[in-house]
Amino acid sequence: MKPASNAQGDDTGSPSASTAASGDAGPAADAMALALEQARLAARRGEVPVGAVVVGPDGTILAACGNRTEECHDAAAHAELLAMRHAAAALGQTRLMGCDLYVTLEPCPMCAAAAGLFRVRRIIFAAYDPKGGGIEHGPRIFATAGAVHRPECIGGVRETDAARLLREFFAALRQ
């Protein structure tokens, strides 16, 4: 997987070279590793640790973002939405046809609906979210008759790593 020159990274504007080039299990492992890195960076900023990466049809990383709801004072500044917006801007188009969205937590209903509107090909997520998820839990956005697009959805990829980040973040908040 090769990082795009205009990929949106967390603070530097591009994905970390060590993360984007790491792993030998192919693009999926690299993209989820980068999403987990974005989640860790979000946690350091005091955000809920969720990271998202959009990978283009050719394997190029188009965008990598973490949650920024607190920083931006924007309840909709979820990692997935930010990454899809940056990826669409990088491509210069409205839709993300043929692109894959990697995210460390099952997208909420808002983000799942947005992924449908962006027309992503596939959503690959790490941890399941029984309380706030919108794909396998809650309203199951893509199972409704009104779904405008139904991407392939794959859950549980690096689930243990993502769940540990979330558990540690919320445990620290309670102390």
- How many angstroms separate the CA atoms of 87 and 15, rounded? 13
- How many angstroms separate the CA atoms of 111 and 117, rounded? 10
Question: Looking at 37, 47, 71, 80, which residue is catalytic?
Answer: 80
Those residues whose C-beta lies under 8 Å from the C-beta of residue 69, and which sit 6 or more positions away, are 47, 48, 75, 76, 77, 78
- How many angstroms separate the CA atoms of 102 and 73, rounded? 24
CA 95 to chain centre: 16
Instruction: State yes or no: is 152 an active-site residue.
Output: no
Q: Which residues are catalytic?
A: 80
